[in-house]
Structure 1
Amino acid sequence: MLSNLIGLIGLLLIITGALIFAINTILTTFSASLIFTGLLLILVYLYINFPKIRDVLLNRSAKYGANMAIMILIFISVIALIAVISTRYKRRLDLTATKRYTLSAQTVKILKSLKKEIEAIAFYRADERTRQAMEDILLEYSYYSPNFKYQFVDPDRKPTVAAKYGVSSYRTTLLISGKRQETVGMESEERITNGIIKVTRDSVKTVYFVTGHGENDIADFQKGGYKAAKEAIEKENYEIRNLLLLNVEDIPQDASVVIISGASKDFISSELEKLKRYINRGGKLFIMIDPGRAHNLIPFLSEYGFKIGDDVIIDKQSQVYGANYLTPVVTEYDDKHPLTKEFNFATLFPIARSVDMNKDLSKGAYPIIRTGSYSWAETDKKTLEAGKAEYQEGKDKKGPITIGSVTAVEAAKANESGKKIYARIVVFGNSGFANNTHLNLLGNKDLFLNTVSWLAEEEDLISIRSKDSEATPVVLTATQGRLIFWLPVVVLPTFVLAAGLVIYSRRRFRK
């Protein structure tokens, strides 16, 4: 009787200690003491009852039971081994249509090129509902770089750690690299990747938007504005500034990229001279020129090999994408140039003109963006205004039509080490593709940001960015809805009930 009581108390102590550990997720001294004491009492119980236990184990039924126990133990061991292997070499299969749970190509590219160590400290409560989502993301990041490490801290249990880093709210993740630190909120791949860029870049490059000629306004949040484009560039860790050429003697030395977007008025000669000096010192220029606008930029750009047509591109195939024929859809890109060689998304350009270039690899001259074979460059503006545009043999140029080109220009002076410096110029025949209305359509945003990154000589940022989390509702017809209701709710239960009644009736009939 006493020995049974000892065994029961030992078992209860082990269960209590295990429950405390499971709830707290930390093996405290108290829970460890309970488990250890329980094990000692179990050993005492086994010692006292050893003769009885031996007799039970030696009988025939016990042998069969032992064999069964061994088989069960082997099965459990195999399952445990599979679990350990799957945990150590974990890979997830993403079956979502937009690959929502797969890291973007840009993130993978950045992680694989990491040269500095980064530690992510995620401040989440142990019972935080969104903790698992963040852990899944950070685990995925750690797969692609040994320099990326992460840990979770519960601010309630370790308030001193939270105070050390100045964290006062839950669901906060810090990215730390050396002495640099960036705070990331929420479970977002885009924010984490942008945070990595910020803590690993030695300096912040500046992008200037030229103003004073009717260009797209980076502060305008209306349909035709460029506020969304500005914010997208800033997320890539660039500083954005306006540049009024009339107010400066020269383009600032810190100008990593200068953008002229949709200028509607001519540039005066002194402004063009400043742009030329900027190119001669190895500057990076991104010009988006719409049909019928900024006429004196055309001869300026022709000096660098750009052939800008006085036309409007018509694309009857664009209706497949829900666009009108004045919005050419581009799916053909140069597969050799670093800006577009890995780009495989469709882009659309509302009301665009041709911007061609004779391909010359030795000069870095590439026509990189082309419309489809169903397009043409329309030169008859009266026909366009009447809405009766038709391809005219010998007058219009048949597609594919080049809509964007790039070139490299050797700078007047080499750098301090004697290495040649090359300016980079990109010209697109449309600026509307990056406005607030069209930036987030198809691959427009990636193409725009990749162009800025290539000009800024940050090729590791040229890629496809993370996906936006969107609701993906399942739309059913009335018939499909009724089918989904009747099959699981009525038909299947009825089938199971009928099968049970048949079996019951047959057994009763046999008796």
Structure 2
Amino acid sequence: MATLRRLNGWLFALLVVLGAGAIGFLSARHNHVADWTFGSRVSMSPETRSVLAKLEGPVEIVSYADPQGDLRQTIAAVLQRYQQAKPDLHLSFVDPQKDPAAMRNLGITVDGELILHYRDREQRLDVLTERSFTDALERLVRGSDRIVAFVTGDGERRADGVANADLGTFASQLEQSGMRAVPLNFSQVAAVPDHTDLVVLASPQAALSPSAMKALTDYLGNGGNLLWLADPGNQDPSLQPLADALGIRVLPGELIDASAATLALKDPRMIALGDYPPSAITRGFTLTTLFPEVAPLAEVRKSEWQIVPFLRSSAQATTQSIDGTSANAMKGPLDFGFALSRLSPSPAKSEQRVAVIGNGDFLSNSYLGNGGNRALGERIFDWLLGDDALINMPSRGAPDRVLTVSQGSLNVLSIAYIVVLPLLLLVIGGLIAWRRRRA
């Protein structure tokens, strides 16, 4: 019997050694990584995978890193996981010390600087992180920087502003993905510059001058793309020519939604959306968005524009006047976001696109971080610029990074960890000591 137990022990030890050897053998010849985090965000985000899938054809990456030290190995290790997702992503190294004159001509100033080549496009990276690398890949997909002109001079939301109502945070994020925000002041220029890809009219507080409105309508008539953010009470007569050219109307009053209380929203003027009418902008979009103080929109006449609603209130929504009265109230569902398109009068492009939204706060510094506001804003800009391949990109960041805990639950957790758990440990320790004395 003792001999059999010893034999079993030796067999078990032999099996353990063989198993360890087999694992080592397989791991030396096969590279398999399993990431069980949400969206595989530790290894590579869904957004990065999506951008890589949009790149049809090889991507050549040249790193100008000194062979001395570990920088080359670090860069190669970081890019290896991208190469697993896209095998035709190639990395090569150049020693910047061998030809300093050539490095100066190339503008290489940082050890390890990367230049990404895709077709006839090029992007540069000084710092290699997943965020910066994904942004560079997105710019490669986009092709070239897009010029987005924000109308200024009449109290509009500023693209470089830091005030709560401004769009500075969103505009800076747009620039990371290949859009360049520039001011457009019609007191300084008589027309929209030819190289402009998109004009943004963001909630002007003062009346636009006749020359400014003529410049905008001329730009629209010549095939330009436009984003018009209108707020409640923004029925300035100076904007009527723009509305007439589009065949729409900003309705008086603002939306209120009685169902806001069920979503823990204290202000009924805060419109929450989790369901969207089918459109090119919202296809596959499921994130909840928040819109404070919304102006309803309406199509007033048929025109050459194809008008598709993509933001619509619930059936419980109604309108009220700006002063809070409900006279002549309209019942929901009511549209407050239109996507307009038509054959472009410009021979340079096939389609002209315009978006009109009865709210500008959802992209402001105050509300950009709520729900899917930023992701929806990126979709709107991608659609307006004709970058349809980027519209369905997964949203950036992990949706479960913020844990919302009510005050009651927080009190329970605090009592459990500060009082209950220490008492439980004391009781268990006392029981163990009591049993040892009895033994």
**Class of the TM-score when normalised by the shorter of the 2 chains:** 0.7 to 0.9
CA contact (8 A) 2:248 2:301 kept: no
In 1, Cα distance between the equivalents of 2:85 and 2:303? 34
- What residue number does 2:3 align with? none
Specify whether residues 71 and 327 from structure 1 end up closer, same or farther in structure 2 by C-alpha distance, changes over 3 A only: closer
Which of 273, 282, 295 does residue 330 from structure 1 map onto? Answer: 273
5 Å matches for 1:369-408?
Answer: 369-378=311-320, 380-382=321-323, 384=324, 389=325, 395-408=328-341
In 2, Cα distance between the equivalents of 1:185 and 1:364? 44
Which of 356, 360, 371 does residue 431 from structure 1 map onto? Answer: 360
What is the deviation of 1:216?
Answer: 1.2
The answer on 1:309 being equivalent to 2:251 is yes
Letter in 1 for 2:345: A
- What residue number does 1:44 align with? none
In 1, Cα distance between the equivalents of 2:291 and 2:12? 71
In 2, Cα distance between the equivalents of 1:486 and 1:465? 45
CA contact (8 A) 1:372 1:400 kept: yes
Letter in 2 for 1:482: V
- Any idea what SS the aligned residue of 2:347 has? coil
In 2, Cα distance between the equivalents of 1:428 and 1:64? 76
In 1, Cα distance between the equivalents of 2:303 and 2:55? 30
RMSD of aligned Cα (Å):
4.3
In 2, Cα distance between the equivalents of 1:230 and 1:479? 45
In 1, Cα distance between the equivalents of 2:267 and 2:254? 13
The answer on 1:477 being equivalent to 2:417 is no
Which of 32, 36, 40 does residue 89 from structure 1 map onto? Answer: 32
What is the deviation of 1:242?
Answer: 1.0
5 Å matches for 1:109-148?
Answer: 109-115=50-56, 116-119=58-61, 138=79, 140-148=81-89
The answer on 1:177 being equivalent to 2:117 is yes
- What residue number does 1:343 align with? 285
In 2, Cα distance between the equivalents of 1:258 and 1:144? 37
> 1:410-429 CA distances to partner (integer Å, 9 max, x unpaired)?
233434xxxx7221110001
CA contact (8 A) 2:217 2:245 kept: no
- Any idea what SS the aligned residue of 2:275 has? strand
In 1, Cα distance between the equivalents of 2:137 and 2:198? 22
Specify whether residues 361 and 276 from structure 1 end up closer, same or farther in structure 2 by C-alpha distance, changes over 3 A only: closer
The answer on 1:453 being equivalent to 2:396 is no
What is the deviation of 1:459?
Answer: 2.1
What is the deviation of 1:208?
Answer: 0.3
- What residue number does 1:208 align with? 149
Specify whether residues 114 and 497 from structure 1 end up closer, same or farther in structure 2 by C-alpha distance, changes over 3 A only: farther
In 2, Cα distance between the equivalents of 1:501 and 1:357? 86
Which of 399, 406, 409 does residue 342 from structure 2 map onto? Answer: 409
TM norm structure 2: 0.77
Structure having the higher Rg: 1
> 1:118-158 CA distances to partner (integer Å, 9 max, x unpaired)?
43859899999xx99x99975554443224456999xxxx9
More helix by share: 1
Specify whether residues 160 and 286 from structure 1 end up closer, same or farther in structure 2 by C-alpha distance, changes over 3 A only: same
Letter in 2 for 1:410: L
- Any idea what SS the aligned residue of 2:352 has? strand
CA contact (8 A) 2:233 2:322 kept: no
TM norm structure 1: 0.68
In 2, Cα distance between the equivalents of 1:277 and 1:312? 30
- Any idea what SS the aligned residue of 1:88 has? coil
What is the deviation of 1:100?
Answer: 5.2
CA contact (8 A) 1:182 1:198 kept: no
> 1:38-85 CA distances to partner (integer Å, 9 max, x unpaired)?
xxxxxxxxxxxxxxxxxxxxxxxx999986675345323443466468
5 Å matches for 1:353-368?
Answer: 353-357=295-299, 364-368=306-310
Specify whether residues 399 and 120 from structure 1 end up closer, same or farther in structure 2 by C-alpha distance, changes over 3 A only: farther
In 1, Cα distance between the equivalents of 2:169 and 2:295? 23
In 2, Cα distance between the equivalents of 1:357 and 1:65? 83
Provide structure 1 residue ranges, at least 5 long, that are not aligned to the other structure. 1-61, 506-511
- Any idea what SS the aligned residue of 1:332 has? coil
Specify whether residues 358 and 99 from structure 1 end up closer, same or farther in structure 2 by C-alpha distance, changes over 3 A only: farther
What is the deviation of 1:195?
Answer: 2.3
CA contact (8 A) 1:182 1:199 kept: no
What is the deviation of 1:405?
Answer: 0.5
The answer on 1:254 being equivalent to 2:195 is yes
- Any idea what SS the aligned residue of 2:274 has? strand
What is the deviation of 1:437?
Answer: 1.0
- Any idea what SS the aligned residue of 1:255 has? coil
5 Å matches for 1:148-167?
Answer: 148=89, 166-167=109-110
Which of 151, 167, 181 does residue 240 from structure 1 map onto? Answer: 181
- What residue number does 1:274 align with? 215
Specify whether residues 471 and 363 from structure 1 end up closer, same or farther in structure 2 by C-alpha distance, changes over 3 A only: closer
The share of aligned pairs that are identical, in percent, is 19
> 1:483-509 CA distances to partner (integer Å, 9 max, x unpaired)?
44455x55666777889999xx6xxxx
In 1, Cα distance between the equivalents of 2:322 and 2:16? 83
CA contact (8 A) 1:109 1:460 kept: no
Deviates more, 1:264-273 or 1:63-72: 63-72
What is the deviation of 1:350?
Answer: 1.8
- What residue number does 2:15 align with? 71
> 1:240-280 CA distances to partner (integer Å, 9 max, x unpaired)?
21112343343211111100001123334433333233223
In 2, Cα distance between the equivalents of 1:68 and 1:345? 54
CA contact (8 A) 2:190 2:212 kept: no
Deviates more, 1:345-354 or 1:197-206: 197-206
Letter in 2 for 1:283: G
How many residues matched? 414
What is the deviation of 1:472?
Answer: 6.1
